Every structure is written in C-alpha cells, then in structure tokens.
Chain A
C-alpha cells in the first residue's frame, strides 16, 4: 500500500530520526564501545602486564644464565678432573710391584735352603701385566729335583698356601711334567714342567679392595 501525504509542507509533521533507528544506533554504539573497552582491557591490562612479566623474567634469566653457565663450566671441569683423578688412580693402583712378587716367589722357591720338601729351579720366566679383565701372568719353565711328583706337588702347595704371596693370584696349573735325566748332576732325575701363574685383575687385588 502506498501512502500519499497531501498536506502542505508547513502542516506536515516535522521529520525526525526514528526512535528505533536511534535506539539501534545507540545500542550498536554501546555494544561496539563495550567490545572495544573490553578489548582494551584485555590487551592493555592483561596482555601488557603479562608481557612485562615475561620480559622481566627474561631479564632475570639472562642474569642468571651467566651464573648457570659458570656452574655448567664448573661441573664440566669437575667431571673432567674426576675422570683424570680416576685415571691416575687406576694407573697407580694397577701397578704390580714385580720386585715384591718375584722376591716372595724366590723365598717360597728357596724355602730357607730346605731341599727335602722341594728343590725347584727355572730356565726362563716370562711375566706380563695383562690388561683390562686379564690379570698379570707369570710363565716359567721349571724343574724340580728328583723324579718324585710329590715334590712338585709340595712346591705347588707351598705357592698356594703362602697367603701373602698368593692373595692376588687366581690360579696355578696342576702338577705334571716329564722326568728328565742329567748325568752330570746329582741327583740326576728332575721333573720338567711348565709353571703357569695367573693373577686376578688389578681391581680385585687385596690392596684395591680395602680402599673400596
């Protein structure tokens, strides 16, 4: 339907912004303003504060990192020095005093001059310190006077039963060998055998056990 206003201009109702329009405009404005106020609050009050907090933490961390790096360097140095100390301790503790071992070995073999129990001598000796899990070894070409194997057994017993000498040893080979004769000597018979002495690895030596 079409409405036609036939009234002259002066009699016509004055044209005004409609209440609805105004209301909607106002409402829109309020909503928009409130939204932006909220945004402003979130951005400036919450975000900026938290950002400032982050920056401050970063600053704090930056300061602390100098100390942390220093501590890292100290820890790294400590580890390196501990490693070096352990290495040198290992070097020192793994040294076998061959003079002592050989001296004790001579004592047992010599047996204070008593030749009744055993009378042993050697024609060569090969000794090795070993490495890692393999302990030192002593290999000797031995002879025991008279053809009695009991004397060889006596000697091997004496080696094993000497607590001071044998404490770091692992094994000694079983008795056995062959009887050899030397006409120019007295007694002529002797048992020729290989003496194989094996020691424990250095970590298991008595002196190193005490330290643990």
Chain B
C-alpha cells in the first residue's frame, strides 16, 4: 500500500499505523479512497473536531453503508467529499479524498464544480424541502442536464425527452404527464424518486445518499431501496448510503463503515459486520434493536449507557471508553489506531491490538 503521505499525518500527532491500517483496497476496483480526513469547525466556544482522521474506501459499483448516531459526523463526511462545508466556520484541515485517482481537496472551485452533480451527485433526507416548490419537476431535471453536461448540453426539447426517460426509469407512472407537476403535487416517495432521477441524470460514478428513506414510510422505503439497488446494477454507480438504520444497511449494502464521534471505528463487509461485529459500539448497536423474540424471552433491551459525547468535550483516550463495558486501562489513556484483526475487517479498538 502506498505510504507517501505519512509525514503529514505524523506532524499532526497521527501514528503511521493509523494510515497503514486503514482498510486496504485489495484487488478491488476502488472508486473513492479517503485517507486521514479531518474537518474542524472553528466556533467561538472552541474547535470542534467533526472528522478526526477518517479513512475508508468505496469500491466501484458497490454500496457502502455509513452508520452512526446523530452528531457522529456522517453528514459532515458526505459534505466534505463534495467540498460543501461552509468555510468559515468549517475547514478541511488535512487528508485526501482520492476520486478516480484525483484528490478532490486539491481542485480549485471550477474543478470541483465539474465533479459535483456530474461525477458525484447527492440525495438529501427530505425530498419535499430539497426540491424547489416554484418550478415543475420537469424543469428541475432539465436544469441539471443542461447545467452539467456542458460539452454535450442538450437542447431544451432533447432535455425534456431525457427527463421523461429518467422519470420512467425511477418508476414514476405517466412520466409525460407528471413532468409538468410541481413538487407539492407528489407524495414523499414520488419526490424522492424525482430526487434520484436528478441525481442520476448525468450518470455519476458516485451517488451520495444522506438518509434517503428516513422521512418515508416502510413500504415506500422498501420501494426506494429496491429502486436504488436496481439502478446501481444497471448503471454501475457506487453509492455512499448514510443512514442510522442497521436494517437498511443489512438489506442494501455490500460494505459497512461504522462511525462514532467523527471517526470510523469499524469497516468491513456487510456479512462480517453482522456475523461478527468486533467493536463494542457496533455490538451494542446491534443488541439494542428490539425484537419480538427478545420480548418473548422476557429480556430487557440492551441499551448502550450514557449519551453520545458532544464533539466539544470529547473524552480522553478512546472516545467510547466511558460507555464501553469492556473498557481497559489503555482505553482511558490513548486513542486506539485502526487494527486489522482479519484481512478485510478493520476496527479501532485496543482489544484487537494483538491481532
């Protein structure tokens, strides 16, 4: 694995192990390779370390589920990849986001604008508020097409035909009629389909979906997830699926990264994560899902004690140590680096220091 940028990390108190031990791309075709990514927010109350050295990979044509509780930095990571962090107060302090070999953080504004919406697109949590209420959905999809495909920008007429095609692809009935509808005329599920159509308009290599189904009903959620899965296979788009729902991850992702307080604490394939979760936090999350079987056995739900620490006053050492039931002395003193107990499974926990 490449070890060219270790000096940088060291200067900031990061160990070399940290970088070496991030999940190796192996023989897989890696589309996005994030290394030691740090995003801080400078607020009057102090510096908030929203991302504290995140490393992860997204394979081409694969779905990576990014799981974690609110405030763990999931959304900041998604925004950092697209360089949408408001500066100030935010600042991408260091790290790399290698996308198809180029470092997105090194691009100038014009360069990143060519990537946004074109190569990397984004779907937000609330479809109703992310669409512009005063334009028809057809107009909004056409706008995407005409803005981004500058070298082969279609004429309005062509753009309309393409938009109809896209609406048809995401399963909206009577697309030719629906294209003149305004967002308020569609249900939440339909709006999310329109968002997906817009996101896919330029055939991106990566689609970032930030909690795309959280605001939807379960039956609608199942349809949207199935649709995203189908489209991914058709277009070979990679998906970064940000969610807090482990069920959604289990059903629609191939790889999983678990985040806690601005860091990836576990990164592995979906089978591995669910069959042998290694980090005590991941295990705690899995055990806190209520099931009917647990109720029948008269079990109490396992709850992770305490609260997620606020990013402003993070505990010393491992940030999870004060909620962890397997805490050791070293956890209170030092932050664990990424360990690799199995070839394809990384975990940031001192328990695995010896393999």
Do A and B interact? no
